[in-house]
Structure 1
Amino acid sequence: MHHVRHISIFISRDPDEVYEFAADPRNLPQWAAGLARSDVRQQGDAWVAEAPFGQVRIHFAAPNAFGVMDHEVELASGRVVRNPMRVMRSSGGSEFVFTLFRQPDMSDEQFAADALAVEADLQRLKDLLEQ
């Protein structure tokens, strides 16, 4: 199995609108259940949330005009997981891409389940923004 998966979804909205919504950490509980199951609150330069696997600290890329929403998730153990994420202009809307890296000691089944969770999160984002 590959160690990296690029998971994408087409969203029928202007990329600036998609970026504005998805780049706001306070919106994560509405669409990113794999990362934030609670309100997200700012704490210094990080955002803190309750994830399915415990409390996390999230550091996002600075706001930019390129649609880049890369972020680092610091787990309670101190391990940091880097997540490239971006939105790009596509004919009639936006292509939203999340790059999923397989973590050390992750089984094929766990990596596949992680990918399915990301796909579900992106589908929720699409549903929210297209309604």
Structure 2
Amino acid sequence: MNNVKHITTTINRTPADVYAYASNPENLPLWAAGLARSEITKQGDAWVAQAPFGKVKIKFAPANSFGVLDHDVQLESGVVVHNPMRVVPNGKGSEFTFTLFQQAGMSQQQFEEDAQAVEHDLHTLKTILESAS
């Protein structure tokens, strides 16, 4: 089994607001620098972006009322990384959780750096959504 971290942040916005923003792939460059550093474009059933580690294809879970924002990221090598992501109610706000798995061949230091990048992205998401309310 892989090492795993659940990275979470509380956002003072409704789950519907958080889901609507975070589920829109075109918003990724605004908050998810660890995944999309440039404009994201639609290609068939996937979205394509330039990530810090190369060009990626991203496929998202279908729209749903459960707050599931899972997405698969296909690297240039063809490897697909599944990223579970959820938004759930927390009082009048939301809890946003990203589950990060340590990938095969990834050192502990790389895993920690990846976790820090995700934490930064979630902080950016929180800042954007809370300043827009």
1:52 aligned residue: 52
3-state DSSP of counterpart to 2:5: strand
Matched residues in 2 for 1:90 and 1:81: separation?
Answer: 28
Aligned to 1:89: 89
CA deviation string 1:66-92 (max 9, x = no partner): 010100000000000000001000112
SS in 2 for 1:48: strand
Q: Which residue of 2 aligns with 1:108?
A: 108
Q: Secondary structure at the match of 1:19?
A: helix
Secondary structure at 1:89's aligned position in 2? strand
**Could you tell me the TM-score, scaled by structure 1's length?**
0.98
Is 2:67 the counterpart of 1:39?
no
How many residues get paired? 130
Q: Unmatched 5+ residue regions in structure 1?
A: none
Q: Secondary structure at the match of 1:20?
A: helix
Q: TM-score scaled by structure 2?
A: 0.96
SS of 1:28's partner is helix
Q: How many percent identity over aligned positions?
A: 59
* Alignment RMSD: 0.7
Question: Helix, strand or coil for the counterpart of 1:29?
Answer: helix
Question: Matched residues in 2 for 1:86 and 1:52: separation?
Answer: 23
Provide the C-alpha distance between the structure 2 equivalents of 1:56 and 1:64, rounded to a whole number of angstroms.
24
